[in-house]
Amino acid sequence: MNEIKKIFFKLMLEHKVYPNKKNLTMHLDKIFNKIDFKDKSVLDIGGGSGLHSFYAFIEGASFIDCIEPESDGSSKIMKENFLILKKKLNASNVNFHSKTFQEFECKEEKYDYILTYNVINHLNEKACINVDKDLKSRKEFEEIFEKIHRILKPSGKILVADCGRKNFFGDLGILNPFAKDINWLIHQEPQIWIRLLKEQGFVNLSLKWSTFNTLGKLGKFLFERRLFSYLTLSHFYFWMQKK
């Protein structure tokens, strides 16, 4: 591991962006398997304190824009944390924007990768509830995905990761011990997002169901299945590519 990567992992733990190095390594290897950031441009939507933005930086991305709306106290803390990490990593090509994606201005094919990690439903929570059956809600997300398609370069890719609506504990109406704060009604199954993205000109590349990072590679091999995910976090991730 080179020096900048060592510093990155050290800072992510020191600033409580991620709990431990083992889980962080597993997380990054899982999500960004076969993704080459070298000399690429990245837009990190809802990037918080910049975990994925700074990972793209240490992997050689040419420039990164991170969007995180400054809507409450926690968002302000994220911005402060981001700016501290940017300075310590000397990441001059990583930029923070206190805006929503809808407010963010970009009129050209600019990005090789767009990341939406645990944020797709938050782009419009009200519309997310009924996006599968309400035309107005569907239109709201069609406009979001059209913009994403427009600002991606040809063959650019988008990462979508979130929790699905269907969950064992949620379906029973009881508290999920693995995800106590999740409101399952403001989430959707991945097939909904995949269908809407396909309609805007994307090709599906993958769909994976998450396991706990603590289970390591063996756990990923054994339990990266919809049933296991349904009984735990119902968390998924997939990549799609612009035609």
Q: What pLDDT score does 108 carry?
A: 86
Sequence-distant (≥ 6) Cβ neighbours of residue 240 within 8 angstroms? 157, 158, 160, 194, 197, 198, 202, 203, 204, 205
Q: How many CB atoms lie within 10 A of CB 224?
A: 15
Which has more pLDDT, 70 or 114? Answer: 114
Q: What pLDDT score does 107 carry?
A: 82
DSSP 189: -
% residues pLDDT > 70 (the chain): 98
Indicate if the pLDDT at residue 66 is higher than 90.
yes
Q: What pLDDT score does 222 carry?
A: 84
Indicate if the pLDDT at residue 53 is higher than 60.
yes
How does residue 130 score in pLDDT terms, banded at 50, 70 and 90? very high
Indicate if the pLDDT at residue 74 is higher than 70.
no
Q: CB burial class (10 A; 0-12, 13-18, 19+) of residue 216?
A: middle
Q: Quick one: average pLDDT of 8-34?
A: 95
3-state secondary structure of 185: helix
**Would you say the C-alpha torsion 77, 83, 88, 94 has a positive or negative sign?**
positive
Which residue segments constitute the domains of the chain, with CATH numbers given? 3-164+185-217+236-242 (3.40.50.150)
% residues pLDDT > 90 (the chain): 88
Considering the chain, what is the average pLDDT of its residues?
Answer: 95
Q: Quick one: average pLDDT of 155-179?
A: 97
Q: Partners of 239 in the beta sheet?
A: 159
Q: Partners of 65 in the beta sheet?
A: 43, 95
Global pTM value: 0.95
Indicate if the pLDDT at residue 21 is higher than 70.
yes
